[in-house]
């Protein structure tokens, strides 16, 4: 029909697009209502909280926002949070890459158990995580006397904060890399080895470029979660202003003191980070789907 | 000559190094501390432990945490399926942005989510003021707890159901349709059973996450003993009062609950991979 | 002898993949490891490469023990079934990889590398793809690049794991001939794994037939095809009709047909199996020969230039498959349902295993 359609008057080729329905399609009204319900739900739960944070942060102008985040205690909380991230992210990246390498390139007994253990910190309440370390290192805890005798502080100090955040963000890089590396198999690594490359060179030139995007997302997610960790830090930090308050704790303090604009100003930084995180995730997935389509 | 190598060797190097580091790190950061908590609790007398975990205030918090998590996960089950369906099957403007936003509760710090939700749903907030007209109060009530837990559990069902729906073969639906089934019958008898393991996994993940959640809830719940006090909050309160025994006892209960949930989730994942691997 | 494989064994848990294999691969020749899936041919190839470690046994390269040598020191070129090209590198970078990862002392200069890579790309007739990525090439092109990459390090032996397995039939046939010509040009000792008997017979200098981890037969393609050592090889190399046979005093009897079996003169009153290939029958329209079986044509299938017949004999339950050229079938003037007589031209008799 299509080959002759130019010579036939338009009227004689009925447009089927309105009457003909695919077997897998719902009626129009069903489709529209479902989309509407979904968007209203997501609007209420995702867009409004986002909007209220950004609106409240910038409500009184950029000057107030800037003053709020550069105020000494706020600046100290930002510095502390960045310091924590500098320790936590690299070690969890090393762990994530190492454990993903061991799990995906080798066969060994107990692999499912190891996978389950990696997932565990994710299932444990952050509050329990904090409690565990208070019991171990707190002044009333098991090692408390020994620590104070040696003039070391872990709880209500920076080391405790680093430890609980490392615990809480332990799985993120590994969870991104394991499925990715599993799917890629080990053939390219084997090819590299047959060509005479050493193990390090194989990792550096072959494996790393292949997992680059997954690793970047893992790092960003680990970073965002590290900066935003709250429950565990709330227990071990002691909330010493300008000293052991991370950004989320500082937000809590400001909020409880009814300094809402300042609380939202600090929140807006973390919110921006969260938006960057999900943007990167979406970009990585887009790259991967394009890659797989080839 | 090599005789029956003691271990299956692999030409890819680095097993000892990567496995060694991984196990060392996991042991120091995870296994010893968690074991420490369990040991600490096991050194308490049974009476002391039981008194701590069965105090009426604590029991009230279990009830709230459990019920609110269950309701929140159920809401996410229904709306998560709906959202996943809409995202996979239909086209609409800004779909990619909407899809990306699903992960927001996962990436946004819980404290930020907490103050945002309470600001929105307080009786003077953007949404709260209208609900107030109908006499519905969310902030500082148990509804607020459910709301916060729904928020943080939102990505789980969507993200577990979405890939299954994407891989779902249109041929199955077409076959069902060609055999004379209506759209609704196809949905109930062909699509839904396929999604069931993913739905349950997502539900279990959202529920497990909700049980332990702290940051987003404390701002909106008001923390009234016996009314809006969740279990994690009690642990924080006890730890702050240096009641380590009480905190450890309740923490152990929560830890065990988390292990059970993890077992259930692993079982569900194993079940779904067994059922749908070709 | 360039490569010597001595009593190699390999098992994966309860599965015996390679069962005490001893082989010698002559220098400069192209050897095919032929066998069904699960016959251990790929495992053997990976053991030669050093990608798997044998449980016991010994591998020698040019007289030197290579059993414990790591894959990256062994100097083998390995071509993977699914190419295993580095996705994130251009074709040029892929081929140059083996040279660029050499320790600085042994690494050729940038200029030398460039010359060598371009020469190899010309050899595989893909010099125009140098700056493309593997994803922009067809399967056949990718496999040629994988080959160029393996050759870049001047391997002592080139190992190819089902090199054409992932390609469609036409590209496969072309590439096969191309590989043969390439090998005639460069003469590197090569081993390739295949489950396709036609491929093995067409391309290789020597064929090693494997089954269940063991070597069933080795020899030139002609030897192996014309003189299969055992029923497995006979059946694996092409279609075959199998007849239960009674052997008495140097003759094999199939129904009323008697085939002389000079190699079995000292065997009497035993049962055995006779194998006859579909094209080893002469089809007659009338009973014009003494030793011919009567059969009725059940199916006639014209496949391009050949005709495939399925015939039912008076006694046998099984159908006999026969192939003959189309023009010959036309001359006979036979139709479906007609009577025909089959005269075996070539057969092979094996005693039933005790």
Do B116 and B249 belong to one domain? yes
Q: How far is CA C117 from CA C79, C113, C143, C151, C179, in A?
A: 17, 6, 16, 10, 19
How many Å lie between the alpha carbon of B85 and the closest alpha carbon of chain A? 9
In chain B, the number of structural domains is 2
Does the residue B5 lie in any domain? no
Contact C13/B at CB under 8 A = no
Total CB pairs under 8 A between chain B and C: 24
Residue carrying structure tokens 């389950």: A116
Contact B168, B191 (CB under 8 A): yes
Give the pLDDT score at A13.
Answer: 55
How many Å lie between the alpha carbon of A124 and the closest alpha carbon of chain B? 6
Between β-strands C293-303 and C306-313, what pairing exists: parallel, antiparallel or unpaired? antiparallel
Give the pLDDT score at C72.
Answer: 86
pLDDT band at A2 (very low <50, low <70, confident <90, very high): very low
Give percent above pLDDT 70 in chain C. Answer: 99
Between β-strands C190-194 and C30-34, what pairing exists: parallel, antiparallel or unpaired? parallel
Which among A195, A198, A210 is the nearest to C97, CB-wise? A195
pLDDT band at A7 (very low <50, low <70, confident <90, very high): very low
Radius of gyration of chain A (CA): 26
**Substitution target from C84, C104, C138, C142 for chain A, most A beta carbons within 10 A:** C84
How many Å lie between the alpha carbon of A63 and the closest alpha carbon of chain B? 21
Residues in chain A: 294
Does the residue B49 lie in any domain? no
B278, pLDDT greater than 50? no
Contact C345, C280 (CB under 8 A): yes
Give the pLDDT score at A14.
Answer: 54
Residues 149-188 in A contacting B (C-alpha not used; CB under 8 Å) = 163, 166-167, 170, 186
Specify the CATH number of the domain A61-293: 1.10.3720.10
Radius of gyration of chain B (CA): 23
Do B38 and B174 belong to one domain? no
Do B97 and B225 belong to one domain? yes
Do B141 and B202 belong to one domain? yes
What average pLDDT does range C308-323 have in this prediction?
84
Contact B35, A173 (CB under 8 A): no
Q: Report residue A24 as tokens.
A: 């897998």
Domain residues of chain A, as ranges? Answer: 29-58, 61-293
Cβ separation B2–C50 shorter than 8 A: no
DSSP notation for B76-99: HHHHHHHHHHHHHH---TTHHHHH
- Interior angle at CA C230, CA C229 and CA C231, nearest 5: 145
| Separation of alpha carbons A227 and A83, rounded Å | 10
Do B221 and B254 belong to one domain? yes
Contact A204/B at CB under 8 A = no
Do B150 and B203 belong to one domain? yes
Q: Which of A116, A82, A231, A221 lies closest to A164, judged by CA?
A: A231
| Separation of alpha carbons A118 and A179, rounded Å | 13
| Separation of alpha carbons B19 and B10, rounded Å | 14
Contact C220/B at CB under 8 A = no
pLDDT band at A16 (very low <50, low <70, confident <90, very high): low
What average pLDDT does range B119-140 have in this prediction?
89
Cβ separation A106–B15 shorter than 8 A: yes
CB contacts, 8 Å: B2 with chain C: 53-57, 67-68
B153, pLDDT greater than 70? yes
C187 Rama class: left (phi>0) / alpha (psi -120 to 50) / beta: left
Nearest Cα residue in chain C from B8: C53
C351, pLDDT greater than 70? yes
Between β-strands C251-254 and C241-248, what pairing exists: parallel, antiparallel or unpaired? antiparallel
Contact A232, A166 (CB under 8 A): no
Give percent above pLDDT 90 in chain B. Answer: 62
Does the residue B80 lie in any domain? yes
What average pLDDT does range A255-267 have in this prediction?
93
How many Å lie between the alpha carbon of A158 and the closest alpha carbon of chain B? 16
What average pLDDT does range A167-183 have in this prediction?
92
Nearest Cα residue in chain C from A208: C88
Range of the domain at B31: 12-43
Residue C114: helix, strand or coil by DSSP? helix
Cβ separation C70–B11 shorter than 8 A: yes
C251, pLDDT greater than 90? no
Give the pLDDT score at A292.
Answer: 65
Give the pLDDT score at B4.
Answer: 36
**Substitution target from A125, A159, A189 for chain B, most B beta carbons within 10 A:** A125
Do B133 and B172 belong to one domain? yes
Name, of A242-246, B79-83, B274-278, C269-273, the range with top average pLDDT: B79-83
pLDDT tens across A211-228, in order?
Answer: 998 899 999 999 999 999
What average pLDDT does range C204-229 have in this prediction?
92
How many Å lie between the alpha carbon of C70 and the closest alpha carbon of chain B? 7
Cβ separation B119–A52 shorter than 8 A: yes
pLDDT tens across B219-231, in order?
Answer: 999 888 888 999 9
CA atoms within 13 Å, Cβ hemisphere of B189 = 12
Give the pLDDT score at A8.
Answer: 45
Cβ separation A195–C76 shorter than 8 A: no
Q: Which of C45, C58, C81 lies closest to C8, judged by CA?
A: C58
A1, pLDDT greater than 60? no
What average pLDDT does range C23-44 have in this prediction?
92
Can you list the domains of chain C with their CATH numbers? Answer: 3-236 (3.40.50.300), 241-351 (2.40.50.140)
CATH number assigned to the domain comprising residue B170: 1.10.3720.10
Which among C53, C58, C67 is the nearest to B9, CB-wise? C53
What average pLDDT does range B244-266 have in this prediction?
92
Do B74 and B104 belong to one domain? yes
pLDDT band at B139 (very low <50, low <70, confident <90, very high): confident
For residue C58, what are the β-bridge partners? C6
Name which of A260-264, B39-43, C252-256 the model is least confident about: C252-256
Do B160 and B187 belong to one domain? yes
Between β-strands C76-79 and C157-161, what pairing exists: parallel, antiparallel or unpaired? parallel
Contact B11/C at CB under 8 A = yes
Cβ separation C153–A195 shorter than 8 A: yes
Does the residue B185 lie in any domain? yes
Do B35 and B109 belong to one domain? no
- The mean of the pLDDT values for chain C is 88
| Separation of alpha carbons A195 and C94, rounded Å | 10
Give the pLDDT score at B68.
Answer: 96
For residue C301, what are the β-bridge partners? C308
Which among B2, B3, B11 is the nearest to C50, CB-wise? B11
Do B116 and B218 belong to one domain? yes
pLDDT tens across A97-141, in order?
Answer: 999 999 999 989 999 899 989 988 888 999 999 999 999 988 877
Does the residue B6 lie in any domain? no
Contact C281, C309 (CB under 8 A): no
Give the pLDDT score at A4.
Answer: 40
A92, pLDDT greater than 60? yes
pLDDT tens across B5-21, in order?
Answer: 334 467 888 899 999 99
Contact B9/C at CB under 8 A = yes
Give the pLDDT score at C316.
Answer: 64
Contact C22/B at CB under 8 A = no
Give the pLDDT score at A17.
Answer: 55
pLDDT tens across B166-197, in order?
Answer: 888 777 777 777 777 777 788 888 888 888 88
How many Å lie between the alpha carbon of B12 and the closest alpha carbon of chain C? 8
Give percent above pLDDT 70 in chain A. Answer: 90
CA atoms within 13 Å, Cβ hemisphere of A275 = 16
Cβ separation B29–A260 shorter than 8 A: no
Q: Which chains touch C (3 or more CB pairs under 8 A)?
A: A, B
Give the pLDDT score at B178.
Answer: 76
Give the pLDDT score at C164.
Answer: 86
Give the pLDDT score at A3.
Answer: 42
Do B130 and B158 belong to one domain? yes
A257, pLDDT greater than 90? yes
| Separation of alpha carbons A93 and B54, rounded Å | 41
Q: How many CB atoms lie under 10 A from the CB of residue B148?
A: 29
Give the pLDDT score at A5.
Answer: 42
CA atoms within 13 Å, Cβ hemisphere of B64 = 28
Give the pLDDT score at A18.
Answer: 57
pLDDT tens across B69-106, in order?
Answer: 999 999 999 999 999 999 998 999 899 999 999 999 99
């Amino acid at each position: 029909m299509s080959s002759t359609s130019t010579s036939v008057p338009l009227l004689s080729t009925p447009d089927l697009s309105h009457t003909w329905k695919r077997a897998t399609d719902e009626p129009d009204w069903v489709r529209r209502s479902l989309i509407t319900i979904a968007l209203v739900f997501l609007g209420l739960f995702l867009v409004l909280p986002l909007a209220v944070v950004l609106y409240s942060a910038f409500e009184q102008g950029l000057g107030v926002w800037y003053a709020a985040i550069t105020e000494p205690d706020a600046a100290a909380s930002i510095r502390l949070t960045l310091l924590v991230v500098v320790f936590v992210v690299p070690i969890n990246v090393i762990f994530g890459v190492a454990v993903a390498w061991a799990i995906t390139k080798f066969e060994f007994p107990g692999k499912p158990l190891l996978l389950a253990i990696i997932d565990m910190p994710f299932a444990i309440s952050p509050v329990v995580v904090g409690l565990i370390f208070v019991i171990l290192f707190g002044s009333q805890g098991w090692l408390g006397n020994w620590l104070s005798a040696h003039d070391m502080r872990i709880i209500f100090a920076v080391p405790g904060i680093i430890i609980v955040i490392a615990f809480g963000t332990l799985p993120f890089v590994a969870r991104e890399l394991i499925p990715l590396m599993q799917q890629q198999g080990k053939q390219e690594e084997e090819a590299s080895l047959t060509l005479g490359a050493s193990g390090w060179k194989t990792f550096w030139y072959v494996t790393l470029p292949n997992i680059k995007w997954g690793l970047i997302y893992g790092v960003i997610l680990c970073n965002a979660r590290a900066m935003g960790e709250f429950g565990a830090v709330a227990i071990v930090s002691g909330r010493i202003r300008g000293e052991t308050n991370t950004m989320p704790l500082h937000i809590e303090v400001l909020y409880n003191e009814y300094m809402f604009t300042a609380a939202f100003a600090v929140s807006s930084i973390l919110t921006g980070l969260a938006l960057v995180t999900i943007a990167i995730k979406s970009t990585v997935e887009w790259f991967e789907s394009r890659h797989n389509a080839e | 000559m090599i005789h029956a190598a003691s271990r299956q060797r692999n030409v890819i190097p680095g097993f000892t190094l990567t496995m060694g580091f991984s196990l060392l790190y996991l042991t120091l950061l995870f296994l010893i501390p968690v074991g420490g908590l369990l040991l600490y609790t096991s050194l308490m007398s049974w009476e002391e432990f039981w008194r701590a975990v069965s105090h009426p205030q604590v029991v009230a918090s279990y009830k709230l945490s459990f019920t609110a998590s269950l309701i929140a996960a159920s809401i996410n089950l229904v709306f998560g399926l709906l959202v996943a369906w809409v995202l996979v099957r239909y086209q609409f403007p800004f779909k990619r942005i909407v899809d990306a936003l699903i992960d927001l509760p996962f990436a946004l710090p819980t404290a930020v989510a907490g103050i945002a939700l309470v600001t929105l749903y307080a009786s003077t907030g953007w949404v709260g003021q209208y609900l107030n007209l109908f006499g519905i109060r969310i902030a500082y009530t148990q509804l607020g707890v459910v709301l916060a837990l729904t928020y943080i559990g939102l990505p789980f069902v969507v993200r577990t159901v979405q890939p299954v729906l994407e891989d779902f073969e249109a041929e199955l639906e077409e076959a069902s349709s060609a055999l004379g089934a209506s759209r609704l019958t196809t949905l109930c008898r062909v699509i839904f059973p396929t999604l069931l393991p993913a739905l349950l996994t997502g539900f279990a993940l959202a529920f497990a996450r909700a049980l332990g959640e702290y940051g987003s809830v404390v701002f909106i719940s008001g923390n009234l003993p016996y009314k809006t006090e969740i279990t994690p909050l009690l642990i924080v309160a006890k730890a702050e009062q240096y009641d380590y025994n009480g905190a450890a006892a309740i923490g152990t209960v929560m830890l065990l609950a988390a292990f059970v949930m993890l077992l259930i989730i692993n079982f569900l994942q194993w079940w779904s991979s067994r059922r749908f691997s070709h | 002898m360039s490569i010597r494989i001595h009593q190699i064994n390999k098992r994966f848990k309860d599965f015996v993949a390679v069962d005490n294999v001893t082989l010698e691969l002559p220098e400069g020749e192209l050897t095919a490891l032929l066998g069904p899936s699960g016959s251990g041919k790929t495992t053997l190839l990976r053991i030669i490469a050093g990608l798997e470690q044998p449980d016991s046994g010994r591998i020698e390269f040019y007289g030197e023990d290579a059993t414990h040598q790591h894959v990256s020191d062994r100097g083998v070129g390995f071509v993977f079934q699914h190419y295993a090209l580095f996705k994130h590198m251009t074709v040029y970078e892929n081929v140059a990889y083996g040279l660029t990862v050499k320790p600085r002392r042994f690494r050729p200069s940038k200029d030398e590398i460039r010359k060598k890579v371009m020469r190899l790309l010309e050899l595989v007739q893909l010099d125009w793809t140098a700056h493309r990525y593997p994803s922009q090439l067809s399967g056949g092109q990718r496999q040629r690049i994988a080959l160029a990459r393996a050759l870049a390090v001047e391997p002592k032996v080139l190992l190819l794991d089902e090199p054409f397995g992932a390609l469609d039939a036409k590209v496969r046939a072309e590439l096969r001939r191309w590989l043969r010509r390439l090998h005639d040009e460069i003469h590197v000792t090569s081993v390739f794994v295949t489950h396709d008997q036609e491929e093995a017979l067409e391309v290789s200098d020597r064929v090693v037939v494997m089954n269940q981890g063991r070597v069933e037969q080795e020899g030139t393609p002609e030897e192996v095809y014309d003189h299969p050592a055992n029923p497995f090889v006979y059946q694996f190399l092409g279609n075959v009709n199998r007849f239960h046979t009674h052997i008495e005093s140097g003759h094999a009897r199939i129904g009323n047909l008697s085939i002389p079996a000079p190699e079995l003169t000292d065997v009497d009153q035993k049962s055995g199996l006779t194998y006859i290939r579909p094209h080893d029958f002469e089809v007659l329209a009338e009973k014009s020969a003494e030793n011919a079986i009567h059969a009725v044509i059940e199916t006639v299938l014209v496949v391009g230039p050949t005709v495939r017949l399925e015939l039912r004999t008076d006694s046998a339950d099984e159908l006999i498959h026969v192939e003959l050229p189309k023009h010959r079938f036309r001359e006979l003037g036979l139709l479906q349902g007609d009577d025909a007589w089959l005269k075996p031209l070539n057969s092979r008799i094996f005693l039933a295993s005790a």
